[in-house]
Amino acid sequence: MIGTVRDVVPFRRNATVAGRATLRAGLLGAMLALVAGCSQMQGDDASTGVYRLFNSSRNPGMETLENTVEYTIVPASRAMVNAPQALVVFERNLGGALEQRIVLPNATAVRGDNVLHVRAQNARSAELGRLDFNEVATRFGGLPAPFQQLNEGSLSSGSDSLGNYVYARETIGTDTNCVLVLRRLGVGARPLPRGTQALDVMMRNCVNGTVQEALAPMGDRALAITGAAGSGQTLSPYAAPRG
């Protein structure tokens, strides 16, 4: 009889483990079915919730768009920020989150482009309640030279009339200064594209000059107005109506 009991116990343990595995699989299947059964907008929100459940803030729908939607060249007058020195403006639409890469002149020997990278964010494309350096760097394709090894703890902070920003600087040789700047412009800072609640802007700018000159395209005097051409009253075609 004792031998019979010993034979039965492992079976019960295995059955319990199998039952738990089946239950977990059933719950995961139910969540995925819920995501699949929602509308497109609801599906993005629900799938983001599933990712956060597994300790990830990446929206899978947005990640797919980032990996598949190509940029096209648009007129400089369509730039979402004031960039009178823009050489070319690339743009793509990530399901309502408009994104632009604005290429600036680079007169230094530092490799790579000087770029203003702008994304008009909404509640589906970003967590509007917080600005995460690593998340934004990932969404903008990684960190450019010479900042590839930069970490969040190495950033300095600054502020102006538009709010706060963070930045890093690298001095190369005797007179070349490079900066990497990241900031978020909210609804109260300036006109935003229709249907969006924030502009996330990241810039790499290397100049043969001072750090202040390198930071200038990300300052309030440049970003408080929109459109790449015209006076301070010029608005991008994407700007929301003034209140």
The pLDDT tens digits of the residues spanning 64-79 come to 877 888 999 999 989 9
Angle at 211 between CA 205 and CA 214, to 5 degrees: 30
Within this chain, do residues 91 and 164 fall inside the same structural domain, yes or no? yes
Taken in order 71, 76, 78, 84, the sign of the CA dihedral is: positive
pTM of the model: 0.68
Coil, helix or strand for 53? helix
pLDDT for position 95: 80
Q: What is the mean pLDDT of residues 222-227?
A: 73
Within this chain, do residues 53 and 165 fall inside the same structural domain, yes or no? no
Coil, helix or strand for 238? coil
User: Are 178 and 170 contacting, i.e. CB atoms less than 8 angstroms apart?
Assistant: yes
pLDDT top residue among 190 and 176 = 176
| Residue 157, φ and ψ in degrees, nearest 5 | -120, 155
Number of structural domains the chain divides into: 2
Taken in order 191, 196, 202, 203, the sign of the CA dihedral is: negative
Please determine, for residue 164, whether its predicted confidence score (pLDDT) is greater than 70.
yes
pLDDT for position 19: 52
Within this chain, do residues 81 and 154 fall inside the same structural domain, yes or no? yes
Structural domain harbouring 91 = 70-223
User: Are 78 and 89 contacting, i.e. CB atoms less than 8 angstroms apart?
Assistant: yes
Question: Tens of pLDDT along 203-215?
Answer: 999 999 999 999 9
Could you tell me the two tokens for 233?
Answer: 């009253």
User: Are 156 and 144 contacting, i.e. CB atoms less than 8 angstroms apart?
Assistant: no
